[in-house]
């Protein structure tokens, strides 16, 4: 196997750091378990950065090494697979399969988009529709797959206006990625963040609290990003022309019905989805955990009498590799905290800086991290344990710091390979789409905008919602 320069660099860095950790005289005060944990962490991170080996395989190998050597127990490793957040994601994918099978997403898109009369209206109505999908489909790649047929239908309707098609191709993944922060199930990284916070501090963020904190940020950042996409991808003449998209035009390019009376299956699925979301949002009233609510919804969605999808078919849509990755990285996070490695890593940080400076640094690093770690979940697995440990040391609320890091890591638009939705919409045979140059031009404006917006919410908005900046 030949190694590319990036892999060779990552390997050299990993071996150098591991050699330094292996020498007993280096880093006084660092215990054996902490040294081994840091070595495993360094090797895993460098492998994620510099090799094409599957992320899940690397995470499982790291977690297994920590278990075999006794840094974490067998119960810790296998217990992560039974974590409620893992079950929440499994059941959410079953619900998403039921929604996809009925074609409700197409009807919802037509309901919004067909009302557009100008290009700007089309952009913001499409943005609103994509934000709503965060409540129905977990993970950004799943939402991208669900939205792709809608985009292709719009592209065919607007085939004579190429710049608008390119603009929409860039709009879809941009909004999908930035709006994921709206809900706890929006990305696997969110569940990792919640788990790390609970293990390190005992503080639990439920579906309702995440919704309260994340939805305003998702809506604001998505619509601001939509304006940027519009302004950086089209010319004034492109934006002047009227737009008139009818449901019948979209139906011509859609396999599932988007007009006409609703079927019984669609009605049942819409009612079930609305009920599940309502129960998630009203958790403080009935105290049913989100995972239990999702499990009830999944059982109903796949039941022979009321369901719209067979359970075995729905389970095929579950990204089991992602779930194993989450479980393994949760175990790695426990090892970092319990061994004292995370505390040692951040022990040398200055403590006299204002909290806003610390948050700004966390947000800047998290925003740029996608250039090194392409997996959103991997970024949270690496950053959040360190951010939580560092925030405790400098007097910043770990919940605010972890949320800010996770929200900022949602920006990953710089390169076509930076995120799966960006890759998916950049490779559409027969359909005009964006180029790497278009992405770079958008990122030059969007990166500082999203970073500043996350910082604004962390210091000015979230404190009003109960998450203070300081402890």
Question: Phi, psi (5° rounding) for residue 127?
Answer: -60, -45
In a domain, 471, yes or no: no
| Residues 110 and 230 reside in one and the same domain | yes
| Residues 229 and 363 reside in one and the same domain | yes
Q: Looking at 71, 96, 128, which one is the last position of a domain?
A: 71
| Residues 435 and 299 reside in one and the same domain | yes
| Residues 84 and 167 reside in one and the same domain | yes
Q: Indicate the DSSP class of residue 400.
A: H
Question: Phi, psi (5° rounding) for residue 10?
Answer: -60, -40
Q: Which pLDDT value is given to residue 213?
A: 92
Q: Are 283 and 208 in contact (CB under 8 A)?
A: yes
Instruction: State pTM to two decimals.
Output: 0.83
In a domain, 262, yes or no: yes
Count CA atoms within 13 Å of residue 425 on its CB side.
Answer: 38
For residue 205, give its domain range: 72-465
Q: Which pLDDT value is given to residue 1?
A: 46
| Residues 3 and 102 reside in one and the same domain | no
Reading the block at residue 418, the tokens are 């930076």
| Residues 96 and 3 reside in one and the same domain | no
Cα–Cα dist 206/400, whole Å: 14
| Residues 10 and 129 reside in one and the same domain | no
What are the residue ranges in the chain where pLDDT is below 70? Answer: 1-7, 10, 23-26, 29, 105-106, 109, 112, 247, 249, 251-255, 258, 347-352
Count up the domains in the chain and report the number. Answer: 2
| Residues 197 and 234 reside in one and the same domain | yes
pLDDT (tens digit per residue) in 240-277 = 777 777 767 676 666 677 677 778 888 888 888 888 88
Q: Looking at 71, 105, 128, which one is the last position of a domain?
A: 71
| Residues 234 and 338 reside in one and the same domain | yes
- The string of DSSP letters for 427-463 reads --TTS----HHHHHHHHHHHHHHHHHHHHHIIIIIGG
In a domain, 351, yes or no: yes
Q: Which pLDDT value is given to residue 408?
A: 92
Cα–Cα dist 345/351, whole Å: 14
| Residues 146 and 40 reside in one and the same domain | no
| Residues 312 and 269 reside in one and the same domain | yes
Cα–Cα dist 253/258, whole Å: 10
Q: Looking at 22, 41, 71, which one is the last position of a domain?
A: 71
| Residues 157 and 20 reside in one and the same domain | no
Q: In which residue are the tokens 């390119």 written? A: 166
Q: Are 394 and 468 in contact (CB under 8 A)?
A: no
In a domain, 321, yes or no: yes
Q: In which residue are the tokens 């400098």 written? A: 394
């Amino acid at each position: 196997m030949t190694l590319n320069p990036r892999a060779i660099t990552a390997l050299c860095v990993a071996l150098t750091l591991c050699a330094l950790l292996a020498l007993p005289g280096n880093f006084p005060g660092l215990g054996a378990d902490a040294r081994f944990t840091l070595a495993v962490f360094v090797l895993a991170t460098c492998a994620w950065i510099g090799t094409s080996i599957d992320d899940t395989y690397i995470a499982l190998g790291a977690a297994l090494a920590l278990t075999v050597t006794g840094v974490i127990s067998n119960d810790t490793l296998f217990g992560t697979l039974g974590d409620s957040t893992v079950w929440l994601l499994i059941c959410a994918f079953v619900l998403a399969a039921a929604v996809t099978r009925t074609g409700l997403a197409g009807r919802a898109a037509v309901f919004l988009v067909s009302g557009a009369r100008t290009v700007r209206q089309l952009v913001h109505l499409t943005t609103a529709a994509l934000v709503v999908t965060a409540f129905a489909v977990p993970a950004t790649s799943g939402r991208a797959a669900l939205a792709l047929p809608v985009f292709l239908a719009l592209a065919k309707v607007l085939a004579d206006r190429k710049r608008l098609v390119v603009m929409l191709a860039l709009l879809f993944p941009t909004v999908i990625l930035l709006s994921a922060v709206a809900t706890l199930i929006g990305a696997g990284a969110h569940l990792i963040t919640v788990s790390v916070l609970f293990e390190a501090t005992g503080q639990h963020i439920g579906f309702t609290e995440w919704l309260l904190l994340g939805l305003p940020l998702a809506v604001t950042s998505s619509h601001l990003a939509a304006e940027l996409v519009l302004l950086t991808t089209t010319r004034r003449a492109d934006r002047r022309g009227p737009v008139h998209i009818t449901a019948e035009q979209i139906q011509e390019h859609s396999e599932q019905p988007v007009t006409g009376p609703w079927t019984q299956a669609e009605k049942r699925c819409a009612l079930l989805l609305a009920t599940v979301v309502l129960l998630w949002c009203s958790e403080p009233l009935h105290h049913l955990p989100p995972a239990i609510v999702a499990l009830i919804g999944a059982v109903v969605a796949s039941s022979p009498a009321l369901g719209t999808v067979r359970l075995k078919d729905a389970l095929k849509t579950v990204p089991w590799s992602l779930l194993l990755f989450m479980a393994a990285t949760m175990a790695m996070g426990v090892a970092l905290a319990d061994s004292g490695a995370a505390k040692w890593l951040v022990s040398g940080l200055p403590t006299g800086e204002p909290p806003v400076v610390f948050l700004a640094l966390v947000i800047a690093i998290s925003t740029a991290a996608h250039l090194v770690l392409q997996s959103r979940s991997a970024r949270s697995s690496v950053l959040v344990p360190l951010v939580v440990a560092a925030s405790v040391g400098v007097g910043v609320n770990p919940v605010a710091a972890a949320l800010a890091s996770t929200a900022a890591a949602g920006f990953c638009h710089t390169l076509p390979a930076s995120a799966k939705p960006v890759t998916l919409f950049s490779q559409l045979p027969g359909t005009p789409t964006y180029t790497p140059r278009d992405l770079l031009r958008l990122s030059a404006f969007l990166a500082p905008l999203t970073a500043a917006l996350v910082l604004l919410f962390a210091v000015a908005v979230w404190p009003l919602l109960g998450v203070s900046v300081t402890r």
